[in-house]
Amino acid sequence: MNKRWIGLFFATVFLLASCQPEEQVAPKEQEKAVAQSSPTGRVEEFIKLWQAGNFQEMYDSYLNEGTKGAFREDVFIGWQEQLKEELEVTGISIDYTKPEEGTGWSPEEPADFPIAVDIATIAGPVQFEKTLTLLYENNDWFVEWDPSFIFPQLEEGDQVKTEITKPDRGEIVDRNGKGIAINGTGYEIGIIPGNFDEDKKEELAKLLKTTPAAIDEQLNQSWVRPDHYVPVAKVAKNNKQTLEKIFAITGTERREIPLREYPYGKALAHVSGFIGPITAEQLNELKDKGYTEEDLIGRQGLERSLEERLRGEEGVRIVIEKARSGAETINVAEKSPEHGDTVKLTIDAKLQKAAYDAMDGEAGTSAAVNPNTGETLVLLSSPSYNPNDFILGMSSSRYNKLQNDPLNPLFTRFAASYAPGSAIKPVFAAIAMEAGTLDPDKGMKITGKTWQKPTWGRFRIARLHDDAPNPVDLNTALVYSDNIYFARQALELGRDRLTEGLESFGFGEAMPFEGLNLAASQISNDGLITSEGQLADTSFGQGQMLVNILHLASMYGPFLNGGMVYKPVLFEEEEKAQVWKEGLVRAEKAEILRTSMRNAVTDGFAKSADLKNIPLAGKTGTAEIKATTRDKGKNNGYFVAYNEDDPQFILAMMIEDIGNDSSDKVAKMVAETFEKTAD
C-alpha cells in the first residue's frame, strides 16, 4: 500500500496555547435580572457563523471570557482555517434541538444545547454529537468552547494528520485479457559503497544501461555513507541474465519494488504508450486535480489519453495521534481508494505481435479490423521502442539515440496518412461500378507502358506490367494492377463523381475513433480534384491522396459485409457494428471484386501470399513518394488481405521504401502473419 502524509497540524498551536499564563478569569458580577438576550438566539447566531466559517466574528462576539483566556485569537482562528484548508472542508452542517417555547433561562445556570455536527472533508463526513454550553456574563450569553468542537477526541498536544493511500493504476488488457500495461514488480538495484568493487563500475553501468558518471552522481550525494544502500537503477524481473550478472558484482543489492510493465514491449508500444514522472508543466496544469511532484502520469499512447480512467482516486484517512504515551491513534474519518479501471481493448495481442514480428523492424505500419463489427484487432507502428525502458529509467544518451534513429521508432505511423498507391483500386472500382461508368466485363485495348491524352503535354500515365492480355477488363486490371486502365476509367467517371464516391467512403472527415488521434484520409490537400492529370493519379492512389492505414483496412469491409464501413472501435465496452458508411457497393459488384482480389493473389504479383491452407485474397500497392514530378522518389509497398474462406479480419500493411523490391515483399509479411495466427 502506497501511503504519504500530507499534513500535520494543531501540535504547534496547542503548544502556543499551553504556554499562555494560566490566569484565572474572575467572573464579573452577574446580573440577577432577566437576561438582555435569549441564549436560543445567541446559539442560533453562533451556529450560522460557524457554518459560514466566520471565525473572527465567532471569537470577537460569542466566546466567553474563560475560552478567550485559554485560547488566543490567532490560535482559535488558525485552528479553524487550517482545518478547512488541510482537510479540504467543503461544508459544515450543524443541527440543534430548539427548546420548547416559553423555556425560561436563569443567568445563574448554564444554557445547554445538544448539537449534531456534520463536517464534509476530503476523507468523507465527520459526524459527532456534542453539547454546546452558553454562560451568562457581561449582560449576555457567551459560548464555552474547547478543541473537542473540532473533533470530540482532540485534546491539547495531539496531532491531526491526513494519510493518503495511493490507488492501484488501472491495467490495459487485450480482447482475451492478456496484459498490455499491467502492475507488476521489478527490482531496484543499489550499491553498498563500502563493499563495492570500483573496478566493476563500467561493467555495472553497461548492464544497467547507464553510465559510470551517472553511478558516481548517485554515490557522491551528501547523505551517502560506506554502509548505506544507494539506489542506482531499476531492472525488470524477467531480465534474469542481466540480474545474474549484476549480483555477481560485489557490493550490489536488490529490493523488490512495484513497477509498471508492458509485456508485449515494442509490439504494442505506440498503442500502450508509457507512464513517467510528471513534468513541471503538467504539474502546473493539473495541480488542482491532486497531482504532486512525486506522481507518475501517462506520457504517451493510451496511458496518456486514458489517464483519468487509469489513475483512480486516492484514499484518505484522518487520524488523531494522541500526545499521551501509549494512547492508540484515533481514526476520525476514512475514504478508501478507488482503484483505476481495467480497460479491455479489442486488440488481439497475439495477432499484433505476429504482424510486428513479420515486419522485422522495417519502417511501416499495420492495421486489422473485423469487417462485421469494426473491432480494431491490430494497430502497430514499426520500428518501435520498448516502453519498459522508460519505466526502468531512460538516460539522455539512450533517448537521443532513439530520437536520432533514421527509422524514427518514436513516430506513431498508424496515426499518420500516406499515399495508398494501387491498394485503393478496389475502392475506386466499387465507386465507378456503382456510378455505372465501369462495366467490369468490358475490356479496353492498352498497349505500351505509358499512355496520355493528346492534350496532356508531357504528362503520361505509366504501368508496370505491359504484358497484360488485351482486352483489359476489370479483373485483368486488378490482377496486373494496370494504372492506365484505372486512369481511363477515372476520366469516364469524372471529377465530381469520384470526389463524391470517395467522400462516401469517409475521405475528408475524421474517423469516429476513440482513444487515439488518427489522421483523416484526404482526396487532396484542398479536397478537390482540379485537373485531368490529378483525376487519373487519384484513381490509383497517387496525386495528393493520403490514407490512414486503419481507414484503408476498413474500406475493404464493404466487399465482405454487404456494403458498409463500420465505425472502428478500440474498446471492448464500445458498441460494435455501428454503421459509419453504408450502401457503398451492391452484393453482385462486391462478389466481382472478391473474385478479382483472389485472382490477384493466385494469378498476379502477390505470389508469396498464395498459401496452401489459407486462401488469401487482397490487393498489393506501390506508392511513389517524391517531392516533385521530376524527382525519382521512394516506393512504399502495400498489401491488404483477408482469408477468403473465413474473413474474420482484414489486415492492411504498409512498408516504407521497399527499394527495388515489389509489393510481394509486403504480401509475404502479411502471409506470415496469417500463418502464425492460424487456428
Question: In the block, which residue shows the cell 483525376?
Answer: 535
For 642-674, the three-class secondary structure string (H helix, E strand, C coil) is EECCCCCCEEEEEECCCCCCCCHHHHHHHHHHH
Question: Residue 230: CB partners within 8 Å, gap ≥ 6?
Answer: 190, 191, 192, 193, 218, 219, 221, 224
Q: How far is CA 233 from the centre of its chain?
A: 26
343-344 and 172-173: which strand pairing?
Answer: parallel
521 carries an active-site annotation: no
Is 537 within 8 Å of 460 (Cβ atoms)?
Answer: no
Question: In the block, which residue shows the cell 497531482?
Answer: 291
DSSP string, 89-153: --EEEEEEPPPPTT----TTS-EEEEEEEEEEETTEEEEEEEEEEEEEETTEEEEE--GGGT-TT
Query: Which of 381, 422, 554, 662 is flagged as catalytic?
Result: 422
Q: Look up residue 63 and give its DSSP letter.
A: B
418 DSSP β-pair partners: 547
What one-letter code names the amino acid at 596? S
| CA separation for the pair 305, 298 (Å, rounded) | 8
Question: Residue 433: CB partners within 8 Å, gap ≥ 6?
Answer: 440, 585, 589, 592
Cα four-point dihedral sign 399, 400, 405, 409: positive
Please name which of 663, 658, 667 lies closest in space to residue 633, comparing C-alpha atoms.
Answer: 658
DSSP string, 580-630: EE---S-HHHHHHHHHHHHHHHHTSS-GGGB-SSSBEEEEEEEEEE-SSTT
Q: Look up residue 470 and give its DSSP letter.
A: S
Residues, the chain, total? 679
Is 535 within 8 Å of 545 (Cβ atoms)?
Answer: no
Please name which of 456, 460, 455, 454 lies closest in space to residue 484, comparing C-alpha atoms.
Answer: 460
Question: In the block, which residue shows the cell 483566556?
Answer: 69
Q: How far is CA 533 from the centre of its chain?
A: 43
CA distances from 156 to 84, 150, 330, 368, 532 (A): 19, 12, 15, 67, 90
- Say how many Å lie between the first and final Cα of the chain, rounded: 42
Is 430 within 8 Å of 490 (Cβ atoms)?
Answer: no
Please name which of 222, 244, 242, 220 lies closest in space to residue 232, comparing C-alpha atoms.
Answer: 220
**Which residues are designated catalytic?**
422
